[in-house]
Structure 1
Amino acid sequence: MPEVTIDKPAQPQASPQTTESLTATLVNQTQANLLLVKSASGLQWTRPPPATITPGQSGQFASPGDFSNPSSGSVVYQSASSGGATFTLTWDIPSVGANSIHWQTTPGLTAQESGSLSGWNLSASWFISG
């Protein structure tokens, strides 16, 4: 159950022009569909999470934010097999302060993250297997 808290870089400084966003790619390395069972975003999705990610494919979503409204949200995907195992990702990317990104799986799935979780406009991938 990794939980990552990463301080913002010293430069550039946050400003009203800075956007706080997360673009996430979920790569399904399982033999079953991953089905979206729950999602939330602090602001309207720039790109909503896909309802289904088929085996061997990836799904991408984007959660926006701005100086006054940090990016925050969560998604929960459930495996169509593996006894209903789930992958949950939650995030909070504030204008000031550390980013908080947390992901966990229930027995039957595992997930590995790749990408930078530092800064204001994050883009990362999670490889889900099981």
Structure 2
Amino acid sequence: MDLDQFCLRHRLGPAKEVELARNRVQLSQLPEYLAGRRTVFDLPLDLTGTPFQRRCWQALLQIPFGETCTYAQLACALGMAPGAARAVGQANGANPVPVIVPCHRVVASVGLGGYAGGLDLKRRLLELEGVSPHTL
């Protein structure tokens, strides 16, 4: 099954929206994650971006399955002021491998915030991990 078929089957939308086509090896682990049998991905990642983006993406990898943090909390964890939340959000939006690098776990202070794959997908990913998006 190719990535487009997989994403459509699991109602994730076209692969170009989900942006997972970069590394085909992830196809072996993504179905396990979607079935609730995998909480951490063990994949070689080529995270090409600015130094700031790479710092943000590395911080995202530290957010455990089933947990969230706010954009402001992530900014503080990176040694920045909470007001840098917008810059953190922009770095998340440039994440080349969402789901694998779990930018869906970062939420706004009130509500879900944004997500490159759309808020419906972000909501479904959080629900899959046991987070109730309705309480955010």
TM-score, normalising length from structure 1?
0.26
The structure carrying a bigger helix percent of its residues is 2
Q: Which has the higher contact order (CA 8 A, sep 6+)?
A: 1
TM-score computed with the length of structure 2 as normaliser: 0.26
More strand per residue: 1
